[in-house]
């Protein structure tokens, strides 16, 4: 009996096994398609869950402060008045005016002399002789123009001590020439020579 039961159980197993459906084969393409579809669904759901960004309105810029209007300064112009000076040959000295800063009197008082002025430079010369105030009150200046290597005799000069200055217009060497303490008091004829940078009494 035991044998019969064993045999029947075995038959039932075989019969059940024969009636069971076969295990289906897996298609790799369908698995891949399913995975792609699932991933796309997850991405779409993630995108939907992200909140929509709210636009922040821009901060308004401050309006420019207008510059102050320029202030025009109006100044009153001085009133100009012109007076025609009266010219005289020998102006009298007035208080506050130094007559020694002007031309020498054409008719000076005191002993007079003549001076031969010699230009020893290769350029023309403009010479000014300044007389220091004498015991007769004479002072002022006289000017002379000399050509290159030229000479001139100045007459009617008061005897006294002079300061001399000259502009030497030598084309190769323009210069200024000076001489001081040129005292001409003993005699009535003197010689002055003008060099490129010095003026001498001879």
Residue corresponding to tokens 């323009």: 174
Q: What is the pLDDT of residues 107-152, one digit of tens each?
A: 899 999 999 999 999 999 999 999 999 999 999 999 999 999 999 9
CATH number for the domain harbouring residue 141: 2.60.40.2890
Name, in order, each residue with C-beta under 8 angstroms of 153's C-beta and a sequence gap of 6 or more. 114, 115, 116, 117
Burial annotation 141-162 (CB, 10 A radius, 16+ → b, else e): bbebebeeeeeeebeebbbbeb
Q: What's the rounded Cα separation, in Å, for the pair 198 and 164?
A: 9
Give pLDDT < 70 ranges for the chain: 1-54, 56-57, 63, 71-97
Dihedral, 32, 36, 37, 42 alpha carbons, nearest 10 = 140
On whether the CB atoms of residues 168 and 194 are closer than 8 A, the answer is yes
Find, among 175, 133, 121, 128, the residue nearest to 158 by Cα. Answer: 133
Residue 52 within a domain: no
The first and second tokens of residue 28, run together, are 């790799």
In a domain, 124, yes or no: yes
**Distance (Å, rounded) from C-alpha 140 to C-alpha 158?**
10
The reply to whether 135 falls in a domain is yes
Q: What is the pLDDT of residue 7?
A: 64
Angle at alpha carbon of residue 127, lines to 125 and 131, rounded to 5°:
170
In a domain, 95, yes or no: no
Alpha-carbon distance of 173 to 185, in angstroms, equals 34
CA 121/CA 147 separation, integer angstroms: 9
Is 11 contained in some domain?
no
Quick one: 104 exposed, middle or buried, by C-beta within 10 A (0-12, 13-18, 19+)?
A: buried
Residue 186's pLDDT is 86
Residue 164: give the domain boundaries: 115-201
* pLDDT of amino acid 134: 92
Q: How far is CA 84 from CA 79, 99, 103, 111, in A?
A: 17, 20, 20, 35
The structural domain count of the chain equals 1
Question: Does the residue 65 lie in any domain?
Answer: no
Q: 76: which residues sit within 8 A by CB, 6+ positions away?
A: none
Give the whole-number percent of the chain exceeding pLDDT 70. 56
């Amino acid at each position: 009996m035991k044998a019969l039961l064993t045999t029947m159980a075995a038959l039932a197993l075989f019969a059940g096994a024969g009636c069971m459906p076969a295990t289906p084969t897996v298609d790799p393409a369908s698995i891949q398609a399913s995975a792609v579809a699932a991933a796309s669904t997850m991405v779409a759901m993630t995108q939907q869950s992200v909140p929509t960004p709210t636009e922040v309105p821009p901060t308004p810029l401050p309006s420019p402060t207008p510059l102050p209007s320029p202030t025009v300064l109006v100044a009153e112009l001085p009133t100009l008045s012109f007076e025609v000076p009266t010219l005289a040959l020998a102006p009298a000295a007035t208080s506050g005016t130094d007559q020694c800063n002007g031309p020498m009197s054409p008719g000076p008082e005191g002993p007079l002399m003549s001076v031969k002025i010699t230009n020893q430079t290769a350029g023309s010369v403009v010479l000014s002789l300044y007389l220091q105030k004498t015991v007769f009150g004479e002072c002022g200046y006289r000017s002379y123009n000399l050509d290159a290597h030229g000479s001139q005799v100045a007459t009617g000069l008061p005897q006294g001590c002079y300061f001399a200055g000259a502009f030497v217009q030598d084309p190769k060497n323009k210069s200024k020439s000076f001489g001081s303490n040129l005292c001409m008091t003993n005699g009535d004829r003197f010689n002055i020579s003008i060099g490129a940078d010095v003026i001498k009494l001879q």
